[in-house]
Amino acid sequence: DAGITQSPRHKVTETGTPVTLRCHQTENHRYMYWYRQDPGHGLRLIHYSYGVKDTDKGEVSDGYSVSRSKTEDFLLTLESATSSQTSVYFCAIGTATNYGYTFGSGTRLTVV
């Protein structure tokens, strides 16, 4: 969907370096989410935001931080990347009052 874009699509980084993933939406949705997807696990919530400067932790938030300074942008930062953070990261937008959720195309992150 053109309403939500993630960047970069692929990234390889070294252990110990900081990494920032960007999620950009044009739908003016209040709620935005960051998930990670790993083999053997369902999608797991890292952090979410319910408004500008309003964020909260999900079930796998350790090692991650987020920021939302504008409605349209939700940034996920790995403060010091580790190999266990190698994953596919998805951003999503939506609320319970909408039809459903819209997901970004994903970012495949490899930490070497």
The residue ranges that bind another protein (CB under 8 A) are 31, 33, 40-45, 48, 50, 58, 88, 90, 95-96, 99-103, 105-106, 108
Q: How far is the CB of 42 from another protein (least distance, A)?
A: 3
Q: How far is the CB of 100 from another protein (least distance, A)?
A: 4
Q: How far is the CB of 80 from another protein (least distance, A)?
A: 26
Nearer to another protein, 18 or 51 (CB): 51
Tell me the residue length of the chain. 112
Nearer to another protein, 96 or 112 (CB): 96
User: For residues 90 and 3, what is the distance between their CA atoms, to the nearest angstrom?
Assistant: 14
DSSP state of 30: S
Nearer to another protein, 79 or 101 (CB): 101
User: For residues 49 and 35, what is the distance between their CA atoms, to the nearest angstrom?
Assistant: 12
Contact residues for 25 (Cβ-Cβ < 8 A; gap 6+): 3, 4, 5, 32, 71, 72, 73, 74, 93
User: For residues 91 and 105, what is the distance between their CA atoms, to the nearest angstrom?
Assistant: 8
Nearer to another protein, 85 or 87 (CB): 87
